[in-house]
Every structure is written in structure tokens, then in C-alpha cells.
Amino acid sequence: MSDSSVCQLPYNAIKKISLEIPELHSQLLRLMSREIFFVTTISGDFTAEERMAAFLVMVSGRLRTHGQSTAMLHLAMSRQDIANYMRMATETVSRVLARFQSSGLLEADRKEIVIRDTVGLCEVAQCMNPYAR
């Protein structure tokens, strides 16, 4: 686990202020839409490789929005937590990461992931693109 912060915002307060600030309303809808899309993608009927690639692309994308390196990932979640999140066995997560490593997409060492082929990883994660299927 890693340190984190949580800020709880009352729904009615968010609703009121987002109606007063249209840009905030649009941004909130965009963020919720992205999260719903990702969760349905991860839980969809896709291969373990597609789901794992989508997860890594998502983590990398979140780092990009915070101005951090998108190639060097420190996964705060254990393999078991990742497996539970993506509804697969822990062994499957480890096997998929090993296959990605042997194919040159990334290097994995416990919780440290170095993405070596971003384009290739994104190609595997085509399930994130609703127009790709």
C-alpha cells in the first residue's frame, strides 16, 4: 500500500456548484464517463492480455495527467489485488506479465513495471477503443 488522501464531497454540494459552473459540470461528466467506460472494459469479455494491457495503459495515463513518467510504473497494488480488480486469478496476472516481458512490451520486477513498447501495449489493449471491435 502507499500513502493517499481522500476528500469526501457531499453529492448535493457538487450538484449545486456544478450547475453554477458549466465547465465543472462537463468535467465531472467526462471523468465519470471515462471511469465507467474503463470499469466496463476491464470487466468485459476480453482476454487476460487485453485486460492487463488496458490496466497498464490506464495506470500510465493517470501518471501522465499528474506529470509523471508514463513508462516507469510503481504498482501500489499486489498481484492478488490486481487480479481481484480485473476478475482473474493471481497466477494469470503473473503469467500475462511474464508473456509481456518475453515479448518485449515491458520489464516487470515485483511492483516495478517499465513499459518498453507503449505502441505495442496499446495495440494489445484495443479493447479500450470501442471502435476497434
CA distance 120 to 124: 6
For residue 45, what pLDDT is reported?
A: 76
Q: Is the pLDDT of residue 129 over 80?
A: no
Cβ-based neighbours of 38, under 8 Å, separated by 6 or more: 54, 58, 128
Average pLDDT estimate for 55-60: 88
The enclosing H or E element of 80 equals helix 79-86
pTM: 0.71
44: cell is 468485459
89 band by pLDDT with thresholds 50, 70 and 90: very high
Cβ-based neighbours of 27, under 8 Å, separated by 6 or more: none
For residue 2, what pLDDT is reported?
A: 62
Average pLDDT estimate for 53-63: 87
Q: Is the pLDDT of residue 85 over 50?
A: yes
